[in-house]
Chain A
Amino acid sequence: MSSIKSQSRHANLFVVPYGMSFLVFIVCPILFAAALAFTQLDLTSREHLHFVGLDNFREALKDPYFIQATKVTCVYAIMIVPAFVVLSFGLALGLQAMTFGRNAVRGLIFLPGMFNVVVASIIWRWFYDGEFGFFNYLLKRVGIMPIHWLGEKTLALPSIVVMSLWWGLGGATIILLAALQQIPTHLYEAAMIDGATSRRLLTNITIPQMRHVLLFIVVTSTIGAFQVFGQTFMMTNGGPDRSTTGLVQLIYDTAFNKYRLGYAAALSWLLFAMILVVIIVQALLLRRSID
């Protein structure tokens, strides 16, 4: 490599295009977002932006909409993350156990992940439709009154969880299956000679061997859950009665419907902080139980 290094005067030129893009679209926006969070910038008012110190953050802590959206986001994450981890692990174990057709099934499970959030939401809103929906069609057939899945405050969020599971499980399943296939078979063979039951194999070999990948799935699905937006925007637009308005939707509304950009920037930092705190706590807790 010495010969390549000797030409390093030109070498720096190779970094210039990405470096510029990084500077303009990563570094500048971060600094800008940090500054914005301490200003009042309302595109609707004539007033130009001015420094307001911590006012945006103070306002957020008293803002019932922010508190509500934080609750919705946390409830969504609490509902979806455990289901997501258990189901994707179960699907991966199922795929692993298959004697034929594994690749085809794996391909089909991942197919929904290719769908745009818009299309995925359209399909499921149609499924959930109070009058013409597929689920109510089935209910009517067995003589049950139709249910307004997305119109009921208590049902809307769980309905979105189900749709999101369908949409997102495939990717995690593929990752977990690959990890399952990496576990050395001699571990199982040795345990089976010792007469271990399949439940013991799962708890004493499979899960410990998979701990890092499972932690990865827990953390990434949590990050994804905290950023839920497309589904709620498309299927319920945050309703009914704000019961599906998560934090990203609140930030979007604040910035681009109410044009309060400074306040919305402060809310984005709060979201970022929440995600960081949650995944650090998760990692610490799970690490301790892992090692």
Chain B
Amino acid sequence: MKVRGRIAAIVMLAVAVVFLSPAVLMVFTAFKSPDEVLNPSSAIPHHWTLENFARTLKYSEEAPFAQWLLNSMLISTSVTFLVLFVSSLTAFAIARLKIKGSGKILAVIVASMMIPGQLFLIPVYLMLGWFHWLDTPLALIVPATAGGFGVFMLTQFMRSIPPSLEEAALIDGCSLWGVYSQICLPLCTPALATLGIFTFIGSWNDFLGPLVFMDSVRNYTLPVGIALYQSSYFTEYGKTLATSVLGTAPLVIVYCIFQKRIISSMATTGLKD
């Protein structure tokens, strides 16, 4: 068994290299000069240059990269905090206060998660038009709070922690709001962190929403900005890849920091049947 384990380890390390190599090649190539990008002699650049990054970051009307980065940051952060707040309030009411029909409410919310997102695209687009929210960050922030995943996940978590602390606080005359904000939320920190990370990543990587709802170049999020910008610089791969590296870096940093939490909560997704 020991030999087989070692063979498996070596094979899987090779697999990991295969999975990683596109990303590594992207990073290396982003540091190459345009000539070397088109006539590569090796994966590693002969002359490391920051030219591609400098050209990406330089402000231009048609590709305000820093503005897109800022938009993405603002939108993803707002979505994350709003989703955490709104979902935890509802989860508290369902799991703790057991409001009337809470079982049915949860069932409806979970059922809504099964509907494919494309179905919402056209009606939401028209509605956002009536609200005059198209081409503003609101179009991407507010509808995100309707997602059911956060409510579902936080309800499950709250049900798993004993309510005795909260009951004691109520007996001592704490208000419901106080119980929610002072006791329940701190107890839910692990679940809130996980939900926060997933919400942030999801919002950051959203493509169809900003593609449809945003109109002017300066209001794009990073993915849409990169997508529409690179289509006009088709074969300038050095520059495009540098843009991609800069656009991915924030998420890879998040991933490296929270890798354990991300993977362990991914792992439990399939186990609830």
Contact = CB atoms under 8 A, between A and B. Distances in A.
Interface in A1-30: 1, 3-5, 7-8, 10-12, 14-15, 17-19, 21-22, 24-26, 28-30
B257 interface: no
A210 to B, nearest CB: 10
Given A97-B4, A108-B16, A124-B22, A175 B235 contact: no
Contact of B122 (A124, A126, A255): A255
B11 interface: yes
A15 B223 contact: no
A212 B23 contact: no
A112 B241 CA distance: 15
Q: Would you call the interface of chain B mostly helix, strand, loop, or mixed?
A: helix
Given A3-B171, A21-B86, A36-B123, A118 B223 contact: yes
Contact of A32 (B19, B22, B127, B170): B127
Nearest to A264: B122
A108 B266 contact: no
A94 B124 CA distance: 44
Contacts of A99: 2, 5-6, 8-9
B123 A32 contact: yes
Interface string B190-221: 00000000000100110110001000000000
A54 B139 CA distance: 31
Contacts of B11: 94
A202 B85 CA distance: 45
Question: Which of B171, B201, B266, B269 counts the most chain A CB atoms within 10 A?
Answer: B266
Contacts of A25: 120, 124, 142-143, 145-146
A129 interface: yes
A30 B123 CA distance: 8
A230 B208 contact: yes
B12 A98 contact: yes
B105 A116 contact: no
Contact of B270 (A109, A175, A261): A175
A60 B30 CA distance: 45
Contact of B22 (A95, A166, A212, A269): A166
**Size bracket, chain B contacts:** 35 or more
Interface stretch (A65-73, A75-83, A149-157, A176-184): A176-184
**Size bracket, chain A contacts:** 35 or more
Contacts of A265: 122-123
A105 interface: yes
A32 B126 contact: yes
Contacts of B248: 114-116, 119
A161 interface: no
Interface of A: 1, 3-5, 7-8, 10-12, 14-15, 17-19, 21-22, 24-26, 28-30, 32-33, 36, 91, 94-95, 97-102, 104-112, 114-119, 122-124, 126-127, 129, 132, 134, 137, 166, 170-171, 174-179, 182, 212-213, 216-217, 223, 226-227, 229-230, 233-234, 248, 251-252, 255-256, 261, 264-265, 268-269, 271-272, 275
Closest 6 CB pairs of A and B: A99-B5, A178-B267, A97-B8, A175-B270, A32-B123, A14-B93
5 contacts: A4-B97, A97-B5, A129-B237, A178-B271, A234-B227
Interface of B: 2, 4-6, 8-9, 11-13, 15-16, 19-20, 22-23, 25-26, 29, 37-38, 40, 85-87, 89-90, 92-94, 96-100, 105, 109, 112, 115-127, 142-143, 145-146, 151, 163, 166-167, 170-171, 176, 179-180, 201, 204-205, 207-208, 212, 222-224, 226-227, 230, 235, 237, 240-241, 244, 247-248, 251-252, 255, 259, 262-263, 266-271, 273
